[in-house]
Amino acid sequence: MADNVLDGDYFCQEVTTIINKSSFVEEHAKSRAPLAMLALASVVVEKIVNKKKMAQHFDSMTFTVPASKAMCANPHYHSIVGQQLLHVDWIKVHGLPVACPGCRNSLSSDRSNFSKNKILFPMFRINGPPSWAIIQSMTCRCCRGRCAANDGRTLVQLPQHAALSYPVESKCALTNKNSHLGRCATDMLDMLMPTCGNGDLCSRLLCNAINRGYLRTVSSYYSYPNLNQKRECINKNEHVRAFPPLGDATRDLYDEAANSDNTPWGISDYHRHTREIQAAQCHRLYAEDHTHEVTKNCYRQRTIGAEASWDVATETGEIATAALVPSTKTKDLSHAAMSLSKRSGFTPKAMCSDRWPAKTNYWEQLFGKSLEGRLGLFHFAQRLTRTMRKRHIDYFAAINQLLDAIYCCCLLYTSDAADE
């Protein structure tokens, strides 16, 4: 068969022929992948992969479903046009040897998930429906171990020009998972999870991406000119069979990925962030405070007994330490404070606290008697305003004049210090 025959019209005809078989529909009735994608995968494997024509029809390891002139009359094929089918086989596609994660000997290709069980591996994205992949399984002749081609332990040992062809970060390609999150989705998680920790929001965004993709497919299908025939679009339950993880599973996935060592630098994000915090130095001023809002994002807050988060910020705005504490008592933060005082680069000359001058002797024992304590400006104003009668007729006028005087004095002091 010539290469120019393998176009959109050919794939549309073959997919239609396969889906019209009742035996095929009954066999894959419980499959997570759409029937059209399974039918297309069987045609691609038979006509392209087995015939060694991947270089002509694949972009690296990705096959994009081409459009067809006859797809306006075939809702199944029309529903998958533009979607991606990946064939993850590093030995066949890139010619790269893969080492065994256990004994470091070379792995040899065995069978794929499609050739064995006729299943496809989903990768959920934030910009549309999921991509589907044929995953090659590899075995080690030495230790008899087995490793998938899309495992994070496999991706981390590949050069970046090859690893980037698989749209999943190596730290997020977790072992023994039935789906992966695409690189665009994990980039979103890296921005949202540290600040709000809302796994439900991330899960809803992934589900919404699939729904929006289906709506665009339906509107596109019915927008074709009338061909004097009754056309019905594919049912959503047949088109969308695989769903992204829920909120708790999304959060657990992010935590597991943050503790994974399958990164180009060989250290997990958790340990890297810990080292960055421990490397923060202070030679002038630091501020310590308790934060209660951050504990609302803690998983199982009541189980671990997290009442507040004690944190220390330096003059450069960096966080030098942060620890969950069961109360705001000094004894609960003492261990973290003692560890902070033993750092070689942490030699402050002054500190700001919302409870100064309470526990002055404690802080002088940690950082020396030359440490100067300061009450924060907000808490200084609060100690004055709390003693005033709120129902007095001149209360708001007095408050405004007091705050104007305090901030004016602070600004004058800052400008004089800058001039000196």
Q: Which domains are present in the chain? A: 3-258 (no CATH), 279-419 (3.30.420)
pLDDT band at 85 (very low <50, low <70, confident <90, very high): very high
The CA distances from residue 133 to 61, 183, 260, in Å, are 9, 15, 23
pLDDT band at 312 (very low <50, low <70, confident <90, very high): very high
Q: pLDDT tens across 185-211, in order?
A: 888 888 888 777 678 888 898 999 999
Cβ proximity of 120 and 132 under 8 Å: yes
The reported pLDDT for the residue numbered 92 is: 86
Q: pLDDT tens across 218-275, in order?
A: 888 888 776 556 667 777 777 788 888 988 888 888 888 989 888 888 889 889 888 8
The CA distances from residue 138 to 11, 100, 101, 173, in Å, are 30, 9, 11, 16
Q: pLDDT tens across 20-54, in order?
A: 888 988 888 888 888 889 999 999 998 888 888 88
Residue 418 pLDDT > 50, yes or no?
no
Question: For the purposes of burial, counting CB atoms within 10 Å of the CB of 408, is it exposed (0-12), middle (13-18) or buried (19 or more)?
Answer: exposed
Tell me how far apart the alpha carbons of residues 275 and 272 are, in angstroms, rounded to a whole number. Answer: 5
The reported pLDDT for the residue numbered 294 is: 80
Residue 117 pLDDT > 50, yes or no?
yes
